[in-house]
Every structure is written in structure tokens, then in C-alpha cells.
Structure 1
């Protein structure tokens, strides 16, 4: 599998499907055909439109789309995305609100590197922005990173987080969503041992696999069944000649997307079938609920082979973090060294990716942390996506997280926005 031809063949299949969709849409929409009464032409055009859009999204990095936020003075305030730290495999970015003084709450949102871009947390960022200064880890697509930039594995990922936390300072509150939860916990422990004054004030872990063996899921079952040699053989490919990362070994985003889709194949099939009928009836919109979700869901990015394989081997198979035996840059990371960073875990009762029990295991590992600095929450009826971006997040979890941050940093100040007569 580790050949450029395999990667390019997969991209060719995607490109062909996009072309077939565009062709079907154009042909079935030809004005002369409007003289016929065959309803299949509308169905064919609708199928082509949905197919072209879906396959085109797979290689497109989504835009954040956060232009402004409303202020208490009745004015909208523009939002700029600024790069705070620039690195080869990911940047630290800030959503800077114009004409607003620094907020009491400063939040570092650690985005997953599990096949999707950081924009998967768009709604999470938008919900936090009115009440906090928000910084996000914006990971890069491995296909676009030249081989000359070197490797990037779980230890490098952890050290990136350490650098980002040091840059933001000790008054930061960290929220890690899903995949980065165990590595963010390790980064915090690393700072506790090496640079205690740079530790964040609080750490919120949402739906992350701290101890994958605490509760079985399809993800953990797969990790147990397959050997590392088998996984490397079936999952790793070399980036083709079309991209800057030509020759780099990666776990392709398209393969990860295939895994995502297969987990709920019936639901996705129904969603696309219904969308085709809506398009045929003229009831669909460019930014309707289906397109808003799938424009993001289908946009996938490649991960470096070393990051993907080391995550499976060290986090899932060997459970190095769960057993408190994780090593970074030759130094053992002792999670028990965390003694003053408040830690909160959030889990969803119906989470089928990181089942309840996997994330809360972090609290047991924090043996040096007083009980009053530990908190946990299990959200009833919530799935994986809902606990950080869905209804459960909006209505219940977000207020709980902000209260936890305030309890460990002092009351936040009111937004200080200046009313002006001209637009910024």
C-alpha cells in the first residue's frame, strides 16, 4: 500500500466521481430537455449536484466562517484570525475581536487531529467567543507538508502543546476535545514537572480516550484485533505528486472518512437519498442543514504515518498514558505531578467513540491533585458530537465548563467594547 500510485489512484477515484456528478448535473439540466416530462431528468440532475458537491468537499479545507460577534452595545464586532505561533505541522491561532479589551477568560481549545480539520470545532469556538479570548490549535494537512520538515508523532504533538501553553501563559484555561485529551493531559503533566510556572489554571477534557480499556467501543475493538504490521500495511500510503508533501508517509483522510461513514452507513445513506429528493423538488439550499453538516464532515485531512501509528500503539494498545508510563523526549511524564491545575472531565452517555469511563479515568491518574480541584460530568442521552458542538454542549455543557473556569480563575469581567459611529 505504501506507494504513490496507490494514493494517486484513490485521488483519481474521488476526482472521477466528482466529474461524473458534474457531468450528470450539466447533462440533465440541459435546457432542451425541459420540453420532456420525464421526472428522472430532475432526479439525475439532483444526484449529480449532490455527488459533485460531496466529492469536491473531500479535498477542500473549510473556512472558519466566523466574521463577527454581537456586542452588549448593540453593535457587531468583527473577528480576525491571527497566527500567534507558526509551526510546520500546526499553528496556534487567535480569534481576535476588534475593539474589545482582553477578557478575564483566556481559553486554549485543543482541536483533534483525527482526520478532520480544526474547523470541526467552529460552533464550539463561536459559542465561547462572546465570553472569552479564544485560541485554537490549527493542525495542518500532512499532504501539504514537505518531507524536509521531518517527522511528527505523539511526542512532537505533545511538545507542540507544551509550547502553545508556555506562549499563552499560566492564566490560560485549556479545553481538549476527543483525540487530544490524553496528550493534553500529558503536556500539562510535562509542564508540571519541567516548568511549573507555565501550567494552565484549568484543564477540561471532553470525550477523550484517556484509558481506552475502561469501556469497549468499535474503535478499541479494532485496535485490539489488528497488529501494528497489519495496520501499517493496509492504512499507510505515500502522498502523490499533486501535493507539496509528495513522498511523505501518511494515513490518508479519505481512508479515515471511509471508516467514519461505515460506522453509520445506513444513516448516511438515508441522509444523501433524502437530500437528492429535496434538490429534485427545489427544496434544498446551498447552506441547508444537510450541506452545513456534510461540507464539514466530508472535508478530511491526512495525518502523518508516525502520528497515526504511534497513537494506536502507545495510547490505545500499550495504554502508556493510562498506565502513567508515557515518555516525551526521553523524559518520563508523571501525571501525578499535576497538583494545582483544576481538572474536569465531560462524557456523553451514548458516546460510541469514547465511551463513558474512558475520559473520567484521568481523575484517577491525577494522584497529586486535591479532590476539590477535580470535577466530572456525564451528559445524559448525549453522543460524541453533541458534547462539544451539539445541543448538549449549547444547552448544558458549555455553561458548566464556563462555571468551572470561573471557579478556578476568579469572576470574569464584562466585555469591554467601544461603541463607534463608523464601521471597523
Structure 2
């Protein structure tokens, strides 16, 4: 599998399907055919429209699409995105709200690097912006990073987070969503041992696999069912000639997407079939529920091979974070050294990706942290997505997280959260 030809073959398959969809739409929409309406041609046009959009989105990075927010003064304020820290494998971006005083809550939102772009947290960002000065990790697509930039594994990822925390300063509150939770905990412990004065005020871990074996799921148990050799042989490819990262070993986004889709193949198949019928009947729209979801879901990014493989081996197979045995450049990162950073875990009762028990394990690892600095919450009825972007997040979890931030800011209580803006 580790050949450019294999990578290019997948891209050729995607490109061909996009072309077939565009061709079907153009042919079936030829004006002369409208003289005699034909249901078959109308269905062909609908199929082509859905197919072209589907395969086109797979290689397009979604836009954040956050142009303005409503602030406490009741006015809409423009939002701009600026790079606070630039790096080869990712940037730290700041969402700047024009005409608004700097918010006392400075929040670093650590986005997952697990196949999708950071824009997966768009609704999370929108809900936090009215009440926080928000910074987000924006990871780059590995296919666009030249080989000359070097490697990027779990240790490099952790050091990126360390640099972001140091840049933002000790009055920062960190929120890590899903995949980065274990490495964000490690980054905090690294600072506790090396530069205690640079530690953040609080750390909120949402639905992350701190201890994957605490409550195994099909996703977290995957690493125990295959060998590292099998993973390297089946999942790793070299970037083809079309992109800047030509020759870089990656876990391709298209291959990841195939895995995502196969987990709920029947549901996705039905969703696309229903969308074709909606287009056929003129009931679909550019930003309807189907397109809003799949425009984000289908947009996938390549991960560096070393990051994917070391994540599986060190986090899932060996459980280095769960056993407090994680090292960076050969030096042990002791989670027990976290003594001042307040830690909160959030889990969804119906989470089938990172089940309850996996994330709360972080509190047991923080042996040097007093109990009053620890907190946990399990959201009833919430699945994985709901704990950071759904109704459960907006109505229940977000207010709890902001209260936790305020309780550990050391500056007294902040103004109440703008609940109306979050609801919008």
C-alpha cells in the first residue's frame, strides 16, 4: 500500500466520480430535453447534483463561516480570524471580535486531529465566542506539508500544545475535545514539570480516551485487534504527485472516510438516497440539513503516518497515558506533577466512541491535585457529537464549563454567559 500509485488511484477514483456527477447533471439538464419532460432524466440530474457535490467536498477544506456574533450590547460585531502562532503542521488561530473589549475568559480550544478539520468544532466556537476570548488549534492537511518539514508524531503534537499554552500565558483555560484529551493532559503535565509558571488555570477534557481500556468500544478496541505491521501495511500510503507533500507517508483522508462510512453504511446510503429524492422534488437547498452535515463530514484530511501509528501504539495499545508512562524525548512526563491546574472531565452517557469511564480516568491520574480542583460530569442521553456541539452542549454542558472556568480563574465571578447568543 505504501506507494504513490495507490494514493493517486484513490484520488483518480474520487475525481472520476465527481466528473460523472457533473456530466450527468449537465447532460440531463440540456435545454432541449425540457421540451418533453422525462422522469428518468430528472432523476439523472438529481443524482448528478448530489454525486458531484459529495465527491467534490472530500478535498475542500470547509470555511469557518463565522462572520459576526451578537454581543452583550445587542449589536452584531464582525469576527475575523488571525494567526497567533504559525507552524508547519498547524496554526494557533484567534477569533477576533471587532469593537469588543477583551474578554476575561481566555480559552484555548484544542481541536481533534482525527480525520476532520478543526471546522468540525464550528458550532462549539460559535457558542463560546460571545463569552470568551477564543483561540483554536487549526491542524494542517499532511498532504500539503513538504517532506522537508520533517516528522510529526504524538510527541511533536504534545510539544505544539506546550508552545500554544506558553504563548497564551498562565491565565488560559484549556478545553480539549475527543482525540487530543490524552495529549493535552500530557502537555499540561509537561509544563508542570518543566515550567510550572506557564501552566493554564484549568483544563476541561471532553469525551477523550484517557484510558481506552476502562470502557472499551469498537473504536477504542480497534488497536487491540490488529498488529502495528498490519496497520502500516493496510493504512499507510505516500502522497501522490498532485500535492506539495509528495512522497510523505500518510494515513489518507479518503481511506479514513471509507472507514467512517462503513461503520454506518446503511444510514449513510439512505441519507443520500433521500437527498436525491429531495432534489428531484425541488425540496433541497444549498444549506439544508443534509448538505450542512455532509459538507463537513465528507471533508477529510490526511494525517502523518507517524502520528497515526504512534497514537495507536502508545495511546491505545500500550496505554502510556493511562499508565502514566508517557515520555517526550525519552523523559518521563509525570501527570502526578499537576498540582494547581483545575481538571474537569465531561462524558456522554450514550457515547459509543469514547464511552463513560475513559475520560474520567484523568482524575485518578492527577494524584497531586486536591479533590476540590477536580470535577466531572456525565451528560444523560448524549452521544459523542452531542457533548461538544449538540443540544446537550448548548443547554447543559457549556454553562457548566464556563462556571468551572470562572470558579478557577482567580479573578472572581465573571459576567453571566450570554445564553441568548449561544442559543442563536
Q: Which TM-score applies when normalising by structure 1? A: 0.97
Q: Is the 8 A contact 2:143 2:245 kept in 1?
A: yes
- Deviant stretches of 4+, over 3 Å: none
Map of 2:95 onto structure 1: 95
Q: State the alpha-carbon separation in 1 of the partners of residues 402 and 73 from structure 2.
A: 22
Q: Is the 8 A contact 2:212 2:221 kept in 1?
A: no
Map of 2:334 onto structure 1: 334
Map of 1:419 onto structure 2: none
Q: Does 1:373 align with 2:373?
A: yes
- Correspondences of 1:45-56 after superposition (within 5 Å): 45-56=45-56
Superposed CA RMSD: 1.0
Q: Does 1:296 align with 2:296?
A: yes
- Farther off after superposition, 305-314 or 23-32: 23-32
Map of 2:217 onto structure 1: 217
Q: CA deviation at 1:102?
A: 1.2
Structure 1, unpaired ranges of 5+: 416-424
Q: Is the 8 A contact 1:29 1:45 kept in 2?
A: yes
Q: CA deviation at 1:75?
A: 2.0
Q: State the alpha-carbon separation in 2 of the partners of residues 369 and 40 from structure 1.
A: 67
Map of 1:255 onto structure 2: 255
- Correspondences of 1:165-184 after superposition (within 5 Å): 165-184=165-184
Q: Is the 8 A contact 2:147 2:248 kept in 1?
A: yes
- Farther off after superposition, 69-78 or 294-303: 69-78
Q: CA deviation at 1:413?
A: 4.8
Q: CA deviation at 1:221?
A: 2.6
Q: State the alpha-carbon separation in 1 of the partners of residues 349 and 88 from structure 2.
A: 37
Q: State the alpha-carbon separation in 2 of the partners of residues 283 and 252 from structure 1.
A: 34
Other structure's SS at 1:78 match: strand
Q: CA deviation at 1:99?
A: 1.2
Q: CA deviation at 1:38?
A: 2.4
Map of 1:411 onto structure 2: 413
Q: CA deviation at 1:196?
A: 0.4
Other structure's SS at 1:186 match: helix
- Correspondences of 1:23-422 after superposition (within 5 Å): 23-409=23-409, 410-413=412-415
Q: State the alpha-carbon separation in 2 of the partners of residues 56 and 208 from structure 1.
A: 31
Q: State the alpha-carbon separation in 1 of the partners of residues 114 and 286 from structure 2.
A: 27
Other structure's SS at 1:130 match: coil
Other structure's SS at 2:220 match: helix
Other structure's SS at 1:267 match: helix
Q: CA deviation at 1:396?
A: 0.9
Other structure's SS at 1:92 match: strand
Q: State the alpha-carbon separation in 2 of the partners of residues 221 and 200 from structure 1.
A: 32
Q: Give aligned pairs, total.
A: 415
State the Cα deviation string for residues 199-225 of structure 1 (Å, max 9, x = none). 000000000000000111111232111
Q: State the alpha-carbon separation in 1 of the partners of residues 5 and 211 from structure 2.
A: 37
Q: Is the 8 A contact 1:103 1:412 kept in 2?
A: no
State the Cα deviation string for residues 58-112 of structure 1 (Å, max 9, x = none). 0000111001111232321111101010010000010011111111100000000
Q: Is the 8 A contact 1:103 1:413 kept in 2?
A: no
Other structure's SS at 1:271 match: helix
Structure 2, unpaired ranges of 5+: 418-424
Other structure's SS at 2:69 match: strand
Q: Is the 8 A contact 1:141 1:303 kept in 2?
A: yes
State the Cα deviation string for residues 134-173 of structure 1 (Å, max 9, x = none). 0000000000000000000000000000000000000000
Q: State the alpha-carbon separation in 2 of the partners of residues 193 and 340 from structure 1.
A: 12
Q: State the alpha-carbon separation in 1 of the partners of residues 400 and 41 from structure 2.
A: 51
- Farther off after superposition, 241-250 or 211-220: 211-220
Q: Is the 8 A contact 1:104 1:413 kept in 2?
A: no
Q: CA deviation at 1:414?
A: 7.8
State the Cα deviation string for residues 254-306 of structure 1 (Å, max 9, x = none). 11111111111111111111111000000100011111110000000000000
Q: State the alpha-carbon separation in 1 of the partners of residues 43 and 221 from structure 2.
A: 40
Q: State the alpha-carbon separation in 1 of the partners of residues 413 and 243 from structure 2.
A: 48
Q: Is the 8 A contact 1:212 1:316 kept in 2?
A: yes
Q: State the alpha-carbon separation in 2 of the partners of residues 242 and 334 from structure 1.
A: 43
Q: State the alpha-carbon separation in 2 of the partners of residues 299 and 276 from structure 1.
A: 20
Other structure's SS at 1:404 match: helix
